[in-house]
Structure 1
Amino acid sequence: MVLTSVLTCPQCGAATPETMPEDACQFYYECRACHAVLRPKPGDCCVFCSFGSVPCPPVQYERAYCDPQR
């Protein structure tokens, strides 16, 4: 399980490594550079799934353990 994801702000392009919560999705994130408030894109559960380099831990878990091809 990867717990660090680099969030990239779609407004200013700032990339910031952040530690993700292990048991929850994060619905809001304020960019440290431009202060834009990021929200998940439609169909995504959280900001890490929308703007991160790695999806959130609940999605990682689901992909690893619920994949029928595994």
Structure 2
Amino acid sequence: MSSIELESVITCPECGAVTQETMPTNACQWLYECGACHVVLKPLPGDCCVYCSYGTVKCPPIQQGSSCCSSGGA
């Protein structure tokens, strides 16, 4: 059985700052404020959360093969 990784490194597309973060397992993280330049990151189109867009590891629900959150693409 594969284990779920909870650590992901987010890279800010504005300033290039990299920060290791622990992903929540009980909620999506739609917003993330860069600690260096303070820009607020949002998921890219087609991604469910900031970890899927800017992180080195996808969020836990995606790692498990399910959809993140309950939002559909309607």
Deviation at 1:48, TM superposition (A): 0.1
Unpaired segments of 5 or more residues in structure 2?
Answer: 67-74
After superposition, the C-alpha distances for 1:7-26 in whole angstroms (9 at most, x for unaligned) are 00000000000000012210
User: Normalized against structure 2, the TM-score is what?
Assistant: 0.82
Further displaced range: 22-31 or 44-53: 22-31
Further displaced range: 3-12 or 18-27: 18-27
- 1:4 matches 2:12: no
User: Normalized against structure 1, the TM-score is what?
Assistant: 0.86
- 1:51 matches 2:54: yes
Report percent identity of matched pairs: 63
How many residues are paired up? Answer: 63
Regions of 4+ moved over 4 Å: none
After superposition, the C-alpha distances for 1:8-56 in whole angstroms (9 at most, x for unaligned) are 0000000000000012210000000000000000000000000000000
Unpaired segments of 5 or more residues in structure 1?
Answer: 64-70
